[in-house]
Amino acid sequence: MTVSPARLEPSADVDDRASIGSGTLVWHLAQIREQAVIGDDCIIGRGAYVGPGVRIGDRCKVQNHALVYEPAVLEDGAFVGPAVVFTNDYFPRAVTPEGTLKTGDDWEAVGVVVRTGASIGARAVCVAPLTIGRWAMVAAGSVVTRDVPDFALVAGVPARRIRWVGRAGTPLEPLGDGHHRCAETGRTYVEHGGTLTERES
């Protein structure tokens, strides 16, 4: 295990083959599996699970009891709320068609990708394979079954886009003609063809 200087609570179960970045905090009863890579200045909450080979960027938060199954990827600044679940088996079965217990060789894991700055609310379920776009937000309790565009706020079962949000996470004010503004930061955005982009300042 590569640790430089991180804080690992004694009850955390961190595999020796995992890599934990500088300034990262791993709290009580969290489990980090082999070959997982966690960047600098992250927080891994109590009871969280990070699967084998999962990659987590810098300044991410994985809150209490979140389950991040391999081969998930979290880019810098991603937020995963309490009790969020990332699935990794699109057609899950405990046994093969012949009735024998499945092993790792009997299925191919698929993953969730969380792009820079995106947030996933408490108890949401993300059904892999899918991508949560940059600075997007998933409302608490949602079930996400398809890709989420950059800056989209999605909610429901299954999740659908209900608003656009900016980098601050607050809903944007529509200005007309596809233009939007963040009241908190003053940034402006343009909607075109179901996507939202930041306007250059």
Q: Which domain holds residue 161?
A: 2-169
Q: How many domains does the chain have?
A: 1
> Does 200 fall in a domain?
no
Residue bearing the bigger pLDDT, 194 or 160: 160
Establish if 165 belongs to a structural domain. yes
- Domain holding 126: CATH number? 2.160.10.10
Candidates 75, 64, 54, 57; CA nearest to 26 is 64
pTM: 0.94
Q: Is 183 contained in some domain?
A: no
What's the rounded Cα separation, in Å, for the pair 199 and 61?
28
Instruction: Check residue 201 and give its pLDDT.
Output: 61
Does residue 175 lie within any of the structural domains? Answer: no
Is residue 10 situated within a structural domain?
Answer: yes
Q: CA dihedral in degrees (3, 117, 137, 82; nearest 10)? A: 20
CA 10 to chain CA centroid, Å, is 25
Domain-located, residue 21? yes
Q: How far apart are the first and last CA of the chain?
A: 43
pLDDT at 3 (0 to 100)? 46
Within a domain: residue 132? yes
Instruction: Quote the CA–CA distance of 126 and 112 in Å, as a whole number.
Output: 7
What is the sign of the dihedral through the CA atoms of 150, 57, 50 and 24? negative
User: pLDDT > 90: what percent of the chain?
Assistant: 91
**pLDDT tens digits along 80-99:** 999 999 999 988 999 999 99
- Give me the mean pLDDT over the 164-181 stretch: 95
In a domain? residue 199: no
* pLDDT tens profile 29-68: 999 999 999 999 999 999 999 999 999 999 999 999 999 9
